[in-house]
Amino acid sequence: MASVKFLNITKKYGENVILNGIDSEINDHEFVVIVGPSGCGKTTLLRMLAGLEEITDGEIEIDKLVVNELPPSKREIAMVFQDYALYPHMTVRENMSFALKLRKMNKAEIEKRVSEAAQILQLTPLLERMPRQLSGGQRQRVAIGRAIVRKPKVFLFDEPLSNLDAKLREEMRIEIAKLYQNLNSTIVYVTHDQVEAMTLAGKIVVMNRGIIQQTGSPLDVYRKPKNVFVAGFIGSPTMNFFRGKLVKEKEEFYFLNESLKIFVPAYALPEAEKYVGREITLGARPDDILTGEKSVDHQHKVKGSIEVIELLGHRENIYIKAGENRILATVDAFSNYSPGSGIEFSLNYQNIHVFDTLTEQRINP
Amino acid sequence: MNKKNAPRTFLQFVMQVKKKYLKQILMHLLILAAVAVCVYPLIRILSVSIRPGDKIVSTDLSIIPQGASFLSYMKLLQDTNFLRWLWNSLLITLATSFIGVSLASTAAYAFSRFNFLGKKSGMVVLLSTQMIPAGMLILPLFLMIMKMNLMNTYLGIIIAYSVSSLPFSIWILKGYYDTIPKSLEEAAMVDGTGPIGAFYRIILPLSTPALSIAFLFNFTTAWNEYLVARVVLFSSKQYTWTLGLFELQGQFITQWGMFAAGSMLVTIPVLLVFLYSSKWLVSGLTLGSVKG
């Protein structure tokens, strides 16, 4: 097991900058998920760590050793590819033992490791099959098995679940979480799916446009997103954003735009005085839009009308139109609202997010 | 057959069956005609090769003529250098095929996987060499081989042959490599091979269908080649069977019986190679490696 360090990593294709000064540290035994929209450079970063992509500038360290010039085979990493990349002309067993044979490991040890991994991944009955005879989920497990038997310093996962259907993806997610508990190894996992990121990660690295936007625990990133991008990317359904000005009326602060006036308590924005009159972006997760009895602040209710209601089962999505703003509130199911009728809501002030519209950076604690 | 289309009368039933099978019957007729065109000459040669000497030029069309015998075969094997020629051909052809396929497989890999200056134009140039008729290349080939002092040698003709079928093989193989996902090599490299190891352990075994097509092409062209051999080889001992058979064609008399017997014998190696390689020609070997 080992730590990984990115030092000012830059990647350019000609004039095209893919990664721009990535600095990050991954500790020993840490499960790090790099998450971001497609094209943000996360896979490129992973491939650079694997040695499959050249580094334009900067240094990558694995286990305190600079690996920039090392070929993939010498980096002691194992990678699970998005498309599995199983060797089609080899059986499951041969696929899993390929790397070990290359290292000239003795047969008994190979056999032991393969059967161990097969047992963990429930592949034992499939060992003599060819990849084409396996289902998608099974192939995925073989790909993971091929990585496990190596006992590498670092595991790399490149969007491993994106080719599976929703149900299988959920199952495999649990498998991977269990696997991590068993192996307790350093894992770098790339995905565009923020649910995977939230559920699997010990640490999330949110990337966009070749830059790290925020690094932190899933809870950190969810509760205190550093900027508008992270706030919008993490969390499902997406956060509501309101763009407007901060104003002061009778010693109280309000968010104001052409159709909305929302109370901003002083504890939610201690530095409010500084931002009076400036453009701010207010963010509130759908769960933090409180309606009906839950809406505690009767003094500062906001009015709107219901556009659409989506029943999810245990919850309900209510799309509220308030002037030009469309607001999503997620409430308990069977709330007895009906489309077209009026609704009043307030925000859960403890959990609101305030950003400077100009810099898009968070300004409340 | 669903209910809507169910036949109500016998006539309708017949019509339906007719419609269904008419296309198939027509197609089979076409295929049979093609087979006949291919096979008929072979049968005629076979029948000529087993005719007794006095009936060689008869107009008898029976496949097995009266008094059929293998005399022509015996004479061919005993009185001429035919076995030697066959051996020469086999040696040259096998060497050509192996050299040609190995060169092509690596060159095609470079064309398929790496970016380098002149990659596109290189492929076009390779293709354009195929547009020049073989006859035009005779003189330059002759000059080159003479300058290399390789006239009348196996090596000379092997070089000429293996180089001339390279473009075709490279195109075939490059096209096939392009269908193999790159992540397979990357997985192999992460697993511990170098780039060359990934090629030998992963790409080559997966390319057997394309490799066997290239091999067959090399084999049959070299086996049946006459023009270049005529120019490069000039002693009877070095002859390939194509040249050898023409030895039988004298100014005043051509030994058609032996000629036909030789023609029959030389089909055997090609037939064997075809039969053997047919099992490698199964496509879809890459199925199941990546998502699907």
A190 forms beta bridges with A34, A158
On whether the CB atoms of residues A8 and A22 are closer than 8 A, the answer is: yes
3-state DSSP assignment of residue A230: helix
Closest partner CB to B287 (pick from A50, A72, A88): A88
pLDDT, mean of residues B71-78 = 88
pLDDT at B29: 94
Rounded CA-CA distance B80/A203 in Å is: 83
Classify the C-alpha dihedral A120-A124-A128-A133 as positive or negative.
Answer: negative
CATH number at residue A301: 2.40.50.140
Residue B8, pLDDT above cutoff 80: no
Q: How far is A117 from chain B (nearest CA, A)?
A: 16
Q: Both A228 and A252 in a single domain?
A: no
User: Would the pLDDT of B290 be above 70?
Assistant: no
Chain B nearest-CA residue for A51: B190
**Residue A254: C-alpha distances to residues A250, A257, A344 (Å):** 10, 10, 17
B177 to chain A, closest Cα gap in Å: 14
Say if the ipTM goes beyond 0.90: no
B291 near A CB under 8 A: yes
Last residue of a domain, one of A199, A233, A267: A233
Structure confidence by residue, pLDDT tens digits, B22-63: 888 999 999 999 999 999 999 988 988 888 877 777 777 777
DSSP letters along A168-188, please?
A: HHHHHHHHHHHHHHHH--EEE
Residue A343 lies in a domain: yes
Q: Which of A81, A104, A165 would you mutate first to test chain B, the one with the most B CBs within 10 A?
A: A81
HSE of B195, CA atoms in CB hemisphere, 13 A = 9
Q: Token pair 């929703």 is at which residue?
A: A166
Q: Which residues span the domain enclosing A311?
A: 240-356
3-state secondary structure of A156: strand
The per-residue pLDDT for B282 is 57
Between chain A and chain B, the number of residue pairs with CB atoms below 8 A apart is 88
Question: Is A87 within 8 Å of B184 when comparing Cβ atoms?
Answer: yes
Residue A219: inside a domain, yes or no?
Answer: yes
In chain A, the percentage of residues whose pLDDT exceeds 70 is 99
CA angle B28, B30, B36 (to 5 degrees): 100
Residues A192 and A296 in one domain: no
Which letter does DSSP use for residue A238 in this model? P
The winner for highest mean pLDDT among A264-268, A307-311, B30-34 is B30-34
Q: How many other C-beta atoms can be found within 10 angstroms of the C-beta atom of residue B116? A: 8
From A169, A202, A233, give the residue that closes a domain.
A233
Using the Cβ of B90 and the Cβ atoms of chain A, whether some distance falls under 8 Å is answered with no
A87 near B CB under 8 A: yes
* Residues of chain B positioned with their CB less than 8 A from the CB of A72: 186, 189-190
Taking residues A175-194, report their average pLDDT. 89
pLDDT tens per residue, range A20-50: 989 999 999 999 999 999 888 899 999 999 9
**CA–CA separation, A130 and B144 (whole Å):** 50
Q: Which residues does chain A have within 8 Å of residue B289's beta carbon, measured at their own beta carbons?
A: 84-88, 131-132
Span A247-270, mean pLDDT? 87
Taking a C-beta distance cutoff of 8 angstroms, is the pair A92, A126 a contact?
Answer: yes
Residues from chain A contacting residue B291 (CB–CB below 8 Å): 82-84, 136, 139, 163
Residue B107 has pLDDT above 70, yes or no: yes
**Taking the alpha carbons of B96, B98, B101, B102 in that order, is the dihedral positive or negative?**
negative
> Among the residues of A60-191, which ranges form H helices?
92-102, 107-120, 136-148, 166-183
Q: Report the 10 Å Cβ neighbour count for B267.
A: 13
pLDDT of B285 over the 70 cut? no
Domain count, chain A: 2
Q: What is the dihedral of CA A16, A17, A18, A20, to 10 degrees?
A: 180
Residues A83/B291, Cβ–Cβ less than 8 Å:
yes
Looking at the predicted structure, is the pLDDT value of residue B4 above 70? no
Structure tokens at A173: 């997610």
User: Mapped to the 3 state alphabet, what secondary structure does chain B carry?
Assistant: CCHHHCCCCHHHHHHHHHHHHHHHHHHHHHHHHHHHHHHHHHHHHHHHHCCCHHHCCCCCCCCCCCCCCCHHHHHHHHHCCHHHHHHHHHHHHHHHHHHHHHHHHHHHHHHHHCCCCCHHHHHHHHHHHCCCCHHHHHHHHHHHHHHCCCCCCHHHHHHHHHHHCHHHHHHHHHHHHHHCCHHHHHHHHHHCCCHHHHHHHHHHHHCHHHHHHHHHHHHHHHHHCCHHHHHHCCCHHHCCHHHHHHHCECCCCECHHHHHHHHHHHHHHHHHHHHHHHHHHCCCCCCCCCCC
- Cβ–Cβ of A88/B187 closer than 8 Å? no
3-class state of residue A303 by DSSP? strand
Per-residue pLDDT band at B1 (split at 50, 70, 90): very low
CA distances from A170 to A80, A180, A297, B90 (A): 17, 16, 38, 60
Q: Which residue of chain B has the CA closest to A52?
A: B186
8 A C-beta contact, residue B228 and residue B161: yes
Who among A52, A88, A102 is closest to B286 (CB)?
A88
Beta strand spans in chain A (E): 4-13, 16-26, 31-35, 57-62, 65-66, 77-80, 154-158, 186-191, 203-208, 211-216, 240-249, 252-256, 261-264, 279-284, 289-291, 302-311, 315-322, 325-332, 342-347, 353-356
Query: In whole angstroms, what is the distance from residue A240 CA to residue A347 CA?
Result: 11
The rounded distance, in Å, linking the Cα atoms of A191 and B5 is: 52
Examine the domain organization and report whether A208 and A268 are in the same domain: no
What is the structure's pLDDT at B5?
A: 61
Of A50, A88, A133, nearest to B206 by CB-CB distance is A88
Q: What fold characterizes domain B73-281?
A: MetI-like fold (1.10.3720)
Judge whether A351 lies within some domain: yes
Is A363 within a domain? no
Q: What rounded mean pLDDT belongs to chain B?
A: 86
- Identify whether residues A209 and A267 lie together within a single domain: no
**Which tens digits make up the pLDDT trace of A100-110?**
999 999 999 99
Kindly list the strands in the beta sheet with A342-347, ordered across the sheet, starting from the edge strand earlier in the chain: A289-291, A342-347, A302-311, A315-322, A325-332
pLDDT at A77 over 80: yes
Tell me whether B210 touches chain A (CB under 8 Å): no
Mean pLDDT across the stretch B144-163? 92
Q: Decide if B288 and A139 are in contact by the 8 Å CB cutoff.
A: yes
Ranges A31-40, A53-62, B72-81: which has the least confidence: B72-81
pLDDT at position A325 is 85
Instruction: Report chain B residues whose CB lies below 8 A from the CB of A103.
Output: 192
Is A140 within a domain? yes
Nearest chain B residue to A92 by CA distance is B289
pTM reported for the whole predicted model:
0.81
Residue A100 three-state SS: helix
Contact check, Cβ <8 Å, B191/A86 = no
Does one domain contain both A260 and A208? no
Asked if residue A157 has pLDDT above 90, the reply is yes
Flag if B289 and A150 touch (Cβ within 8 Å).
Answer: no
Copy the structure tokens of residue A10: 């830059």
pLDDT tens digits, A311-349: 888 888 999 998 888 899 998 888 788 888 888 888 888
Predicted local confidence at residue B72, as pLDDT? 86
Look at B193 and A88 and tell me if their CB atoms are within 8 Å.
Answer: no
Residues A164 and A20 in one domain: yes
Interface test with B, best of A74, A76, A89 (most B CBs within 10 A): A89
- Cross-chain Cβ contact A73/B202 below 8 Å: no
pLDDT tens string B194-231: 889 999 999 999 888 888 888 988 999 999 999 889 88
- pLDDT > 60? residue A117: yes
CATH number at residue A119: 3.40.50.300
pLDDT above 60 for A272: yes
Long-range CB contact pairs, B177-183, < 8 A, 24+: B177/B108, B177/B109, B177/B112, B177/B113, B177/B203, B177/B207, B177/B210, B178/B112, B179/B286, B180/B206, B180/B207, B180/B286, B181/A83, B181/A85, B181/B286, B181/B289, B181/B290, B182/B113, B183/A81, B183/A82, B183/A83, B183/A85, B183/B290
CA B181 to chain A, closest CA, distance in angstroms equals 8
Chain A residues within an 8 Å CB radius of B287: 88, 132
CA distance A102 to chain B (A): 6
* Residue B287 pLDDT > 80: no
Tokens of B179: 């269908």
Residue A359, SS3 per DSSP? coil
CA distances from B66 to B47, B50, B152 (A): 10, 10, 43
Rounded Cα distance between A245 and B13, Å, is 81
In chain B, what percentage of residues exceed pLDDT 90?
Answer: 36
Position A126, amino acid: L
Residue A51 Ramachandran class (φ > 0 left, ψ -120 to 50 alpha, else beta): left
Q: What is the pLDDT of residue B283?
A: 52
Bridge partners of A216, per DSSP, are A204
Q: Per-residue pLDDT tens for A119-152?
A: 888 899 999 999 989 988 899 899 999 998 988 9
Domain boundary among A233, A256, A284: A233
Domain segments of chain B: what residues?
1-30, 73-281
